[in-house]
Amino acid sequence: MNPLREGLAEERVPEPHVMIIFGASGDLTKRKLLPALYSLARERMLPPNFAVVGVARNPFTHEEFREEMKAGCDKYSRRKPVEESVWSDLGPRIYYLEAEFNDPQAYLSLKALLEKIEQERGTPANRLFYFSTPPSVFPMILENLGQAGLISRALSPWTRVIVEKPFGHDLESAQMLNRQLKQVFREAQIYRIDHYLGKETVQNMLTFRFANGMFEPIWNQYHIHHVQITSAESLGMEGRGGYFEEAGILRDMVQNHLFQLLCLVGMEPPVSLDSDAIRDEKVKFLKSLRPIPPEEMERYVVRGQYLAGHVLGETVPGYREEPGVDAASTTETYVALRLLVDNWRWGNVPFFIRAAKRMPKKVTDISILFRNAPVALFRPGGASGGDSGGVSGVVPNVLTIRIQPDEGISLHFGSKIPGPTMDIAPVNMEFRYGTSFGKEPPEAYERLILDAMLGDSTLFIRDDETEASWQFISKIHQWWKASDNRDIPVYPAGSWGPAEAEALPATRNAEWRDS
Amino acid sequence: MTLSVNHKAFPSSDLVLLDHGEAVHINQVESCLTQLWRSASEHSQQEGKGALALARLWNLVSYHTGPQAPPPASGDDTGDGTANDTANDTANDTGDVTGDVPEPPGALLERVTMSIPARVIHLLHLQGDPPPGLGMEVEARVGNHCLISHAGSRMVCCEAIHLTGYGAAGQSHFPAVLRALLVPHLPVALLWLDEVPHRSRLLGELLGMSDRMLVDTQRTSDTSSLLAVHDLMRNAGGQIVDLGWLRLRPMRHLVADFFDPPGRAEQLEKLEGIAIETSPKGLNSGLMMAGWVLSRLGLGESQGLIPVQGEGNLRWKMAHGAGVFPLDFSIREGYGGLDEIFRFELRAGGDVFEIRDVDPEHVAVSGPDRQLPRIALRESEEAELVVAALGGAPADAVFAKALGVAAHLVETLQWSQ
């Protein structure tokens, strides 16, 4: 233990190790992973003698790969341009290995390279594998890593693996993937990454709910009317039409990101901040979701697909006109769900969730809509009137947690308009990360990669979490598959979705908030 | 009321300074701020900037002593020529930051509020009598700092109140005035921009109102300021944050890095010597570095530190384990970067671990595992340090121990003289 390290913010410096990225020639490495490592190096959060090895099919030399990664950091890092003093230290610690994932010989070459690096840099054989590849090749990589003796279940030196989404495409495949991973790793060695959990506002949900005494007492069915979670994207396919055809927005956004937000809003207080204590509560919440019977699915789930339209001043094509998309596709680009939770806290409180492409703007937020005051002293709704000496303008209180952009929290309440009448106008109390804290929040990948290096799995998804969410989502897919002959509702690009979706909140005399 | 509007451009945002043109009576400060707030809103709407947001996370109180108030103006001097100008210039000067010259308080506070919204209350103490015709010993001026992000978000404004106290009588009003002007239920940070005095009734009173006090042991080359801050720490505990200590963070990281590889930390048990070379202004920094290393190794306050007379240098001998090791300071003229340390060398277990200035912005790092001939030492400007001090947790046990040993070094030096 280095006594001089204590008290320095970067006390959380991980042990020396080598990170090995499979699929390193892909966009994720250049756009996210290396810029995150660069930022960590800049903040002095990487361990001494850390090294990274990129593994992919493309032919690169070490030097070419370094140049490529440097260009990526220059373009995508949150601190641009790259500082030479930082890169001169990090650059030489980046290596590349050209390899076919099905070639056992390649894994022996990888082993030799790792041993060479570890010997040269005096690094113990701590290894962090990052699978930035399609899940279909995971079994192949796992098998070959095992045969080459590159995987150990030992606590020290340690081996960990970060797995990128998608974690399967339905319950069965998720279970299969978990089985494959757990044949060679302990669960504690597996880090299933969902970058939403690396966002500062998402992490703040735990603080907001459980570090403040004022919210938890009203965080229940007695005070909350309903909850809305929206993830809207103004973009369309951006060249990912082929992938999206297979996935759809329910798999791409809801099963992972939005269900994580849902858990953080709805879970019970954990017994501690220990990673398993938090994840236990998330799983309990997911298991409390009321299953939707197939015959009632239409009352709970609405999907849609965008048509040509106008978004942010641009004319954009419809989904079926996007490259890589079937002209008769029924893949959903919009989905809205009405969820009910069978537990004491949330009994009868609906959670309305929607995720979509080609919305008017990019926004992800959570809105908690509170019940109105029990006695109607003030007339609800409407604009100011003040006729017959009455009062008007009562609006529900809304707490909005904005995930992106402009991360922050706002509280919407009614206030008397100055003047002789008792007219009420809605006003906002706002907290914004951008204006309240001078410190720039780290990118999600920075936080998550650092946590995996440190062995902290709190912000990663456990096997039973993935399976519990697939358990619910797969039923919807099965129902869609069974009813694929029906027309999918449509909406013009640049609108807030198909008209059919209005029926979901209308069941509670509510409407979607235009985020 | 006259309203002066002044724009300043920064890389990612613009700062708009809105000042009430005249001095106001203390009891009019709040109403003037409200008026100014209204004017700022109108100005914003006229400029098409949209709604204003008033933001406050802290009451940020700064204190410093200005030059002697000038004698009363005679005849028809055009600028008022009075202490009003002096006070205002001192408080609002927004000149560039250079070399050894500390950033003017007005500019420093503007930059701090760009990152941490606060009601700023700036206390300026001027010697001498108030200007004729002022009719009171404390003069107040109010303003708003509004930040407009280039990303197009709304203007975020912070209030600024400048209070000038003339002479001892004016200074004595500060605590009571401050009590009236602090925003209730918000934490209070006291930024002490002067050298920390050993005993000061004013400081004691202001500290009593504060949740956090920011001092700067590097503001002076006088080592006794370390003793004064150490005294404050004893009384005020964890609420003291030293900007000088925060300034040493990059250097401390570099030193700590030497001992992360396996087996290196054990070498610290075999300490053979420490040598530090600083500029005259950096002596306190050097003492804090020494205090840090020694305290982390459990040495210092309770160990036998024996000052040794040298030729222009400072030297202590310290018993450690079976031997005695030297702690050497040498001081030479020059600018050693913001931390003012030219060289830090630690010898342990037969190896030498050294950080040496290449130029004021770069250092060379040399140790058994690392040989880096030129790396940038990212040092923070004063405003960044204040932001860090307000943004982080106040209690720093490592700092308290390092300061304890550094103060002990100073005390032993004083005893020996």
Q: Are B153 and A434 an interchain contact pair (Cβ–Cβ within 8 Å)?
A: yes
What are the percentages of helix, strand and coil residues in chain B, rounded to 5? 35, 30, 30
Judging contacts by C-beta atoms under 8 Å, the chain B residues touching residue A45 are: none
Residues B276-299 have a mean pLDDT of 90
pLDDT at B102 over 60: no
Report the alpha-carbon distance of residue B297 to residue A3 in Å, rounded: 7
User: DSSP class of residue A507?
Assistant: T
| Contact of A484 with A299, CB cutoff 8 Å | no
CA distances from B363 to B255, B346, B377 (A): 12, 15, 6
**Model pLDDT for residues B379-389, shown as the tens digit of each residue:** 678 888 898 88
Q: What is the mean pLDDT of residues B175-180?
A: 88
> What is the model's pTM?
0.69
| Residue-averaged pLDDT of chain B | 78
| CA dihedral for A363, A368, A372, A378, sign (positive or negative) | negative
Whole-angstrom distance, CA of residue A51 vs CA of residue A71? 18
Residues of chain B with CATH 3.30.360: 247-415
Tell me what pLDDT residue A375 has: 66
Give the tens place of pLDDT for each residue, B335-374: 777 678 899 999 998 999 999 988 877 888 899 877 777 7
Q: Which two tokens stand for residue A179?
A: 């089985």
- Which of A5, A8, A49 minimises the CB distance to B261? A49
- In this complex, the residue of B117, B256, B399 whose CB is nearest that of residue A435 is B117
Element spanning B9, H or E? strand B3-9
CB spacing of B264 vs A88 below 8 angstroms:
no
Note whether A5 contacts B376, CB cutoff 8 Å: no
Residues 32-91 of A with CB under 8 A from B: 44, 47-49, 83, 85-86, 88-89
User: Is pLDDT of B304 > 70?
Assistant: no
Note whether A114 and A97 are within 8 A (CB): no
What is the band of B169 on the pLDDT scale with cuts at 50, 70, 90? confident
CA-based torsion, A161, A164, A167, A173: positive or negative:
negative
Three-class DSSP category at B194: coil
Cβ A48–B370 below 8 Å, yes or no?
yes
DSSP state letter for A373: P
Contacts of residue B297 in chain A, CB cutoff 8 Å?
3
Residue of B nearest to A50 (CA): B261
- Sort out which chain B residues have CB atoms less than 8 A from A408's CB and list them: none
Q: Which residues of B touch A120 (CB under 8 A)?
A: none
Query: How far is it, in rounded angstroms, from Cα A424 to Cα A419?
Result: 10
Whether B132 and chain A come into contact, CB under 8 Å, resolves to: no
Residue A422 has pLDDT above 80, yes or no: no
The residues, ordered by sequence, that sit 6+ positions from B334 with a Cβ below 8 Å of its Cβ are: B279, B342
Answer yes or no: do A4 and B256 touch at CB < 8 A. Answer: yes
The two tokens of residue B256 are 């700590």
* Closest listed residue to residue A33, CA positions, set A72, A68, A64, A66: A72
Q: Are A433 and A407 in contact (CB under 8 A)?
A: yes
* Binary contact (A83, B376; C-beta < 8 A): yes
Per-residue pLDDT tens over the stretch B105-137: 777 888 888 778 889 999 999 988 877 777 778
Q: What is the ipTM of this complex?
A: 0.77
Which residue is listed with tokens 């697909």? A305
Contact check, Cβ <8 Å, A4/B259: yes
A241 touching B (Cβ < 8 Å) = no
Give the pLDDT of residue A66: 94
Query: Bigger pLDDT: B268 or B20?
Result: B268
* The two three-digit tokens of residue A87, written as one number: 């890169």
- The answer to whether the CB of A70 falls within 8 A of the CB of A88 is no
Spatial distance between the Cα atoms of A343 and A91, rounded to a whole number of angstroms: 53
- In chain A, which residues have their Cβ closer than 8 Å to the Cβ of B399? 7
- The pLDDT value recorded for residue B313 is 64
Extended beta strands in A29-112, E state = 51-56, 94-98
- Minimal-distance CA residue of chain A relative to B384: A438
pLDDT by residue (tens digit) across A56-86? 999 999 999 999 999 999 988 887 788 887 8
**How big is the A-B interface in CB pairs under 8 Å?**
85
The whole-number pLDDT of residue B80 equals 35
Contact yes or no for A373/A424 (Cβ under 8 A): no
- CA B389 to centroid of chain Cα atoms: 9
- Render pLDDT for B26-66 as a digit per residue (tens, 0 to 9): 888 888 888 877 777 777 677 666 666 777 788 999 999 98
Longest CA pairwise span in chain B (Å): 77
CB contact under 8 A, A8 and B256: yes
CB of A11 within 8 Å of a chain B CB? The answer is no
Q: Which residue of B has its CA nearest to A42?
A: B378
Q: Residue A310 pLDDT more than 80?
A: yes
Q: Is A62 designated active site?
A: no
In this structure, what DSSP letter does residue A31 have?
I
Distance from CA of A97 to the nearest CA of B (A): 26
Does the beta carbon of A419 lie under 8 angstroms from any beta carbon of chain B?
no
Topology at the third CATH level for domain B247-415? Dihydrodipicolinate Reductase; domain 2 (3.30.360)
- Give me the catalytic one of A17, A169, A257, A412: A257
Q: Which residue of A has its CA nearest to B248?
A: A8
CB contact under 8 A, B264 and A437: no
The mean-pLDDT minimum among A127-131, A184-188, B20-24, B204-208 falls in B20-24
Q: Which residues contact B31 (CB under 8 A, 6 or more apart)?
A: none
**Is A241 strand, coil or helix?**
helix
B395 touches chain A (CB under 8 A): no
Contact A124 B55 (CB under 8 A): no
Q: Give the residue among A5, A88, A108, A87 at the shortest CA–CA distance from A39.
A: A87
pLDDT of res. B49: 63
* Average pLDDT, integer, range A108-113: 94
Angle at CA A88, nearest 5°, toward A86 and A93?
100
| Closest CB to B293 among A4, A13, A47 | A4
Which residue matches tokens 């690009």?
A493
State whether the Cα torsion A465-A351-A340-A483 is positive or negative: negative
CB < 8 Å to B53, chain A: 430, 435
Check CB contact under 8 Å for A438 and B391. yes
Q: Which of A60-69, A133-142, A291-300 has the lowest mean pLDDT?
A: A133-142
Is residue A7 less than 8 Å (CB to CB) from chain B?
yes
Q: For residue B117, which residues of chain A lie inside 8 Å, CB to CB?
A: 435-436
Average pLDDT over residues A390-412: 78
Query: B401 in contact with A at a CB cutoff of 8 Å?
Result: no
What's at A168, amino acid-wise?
G
Task: Choose among B55, B370, B398: nearest Cβ to A6.
Answer: B398
Q: Cβ separation of A3 and B268 shorter than 8 Å?
A: yes
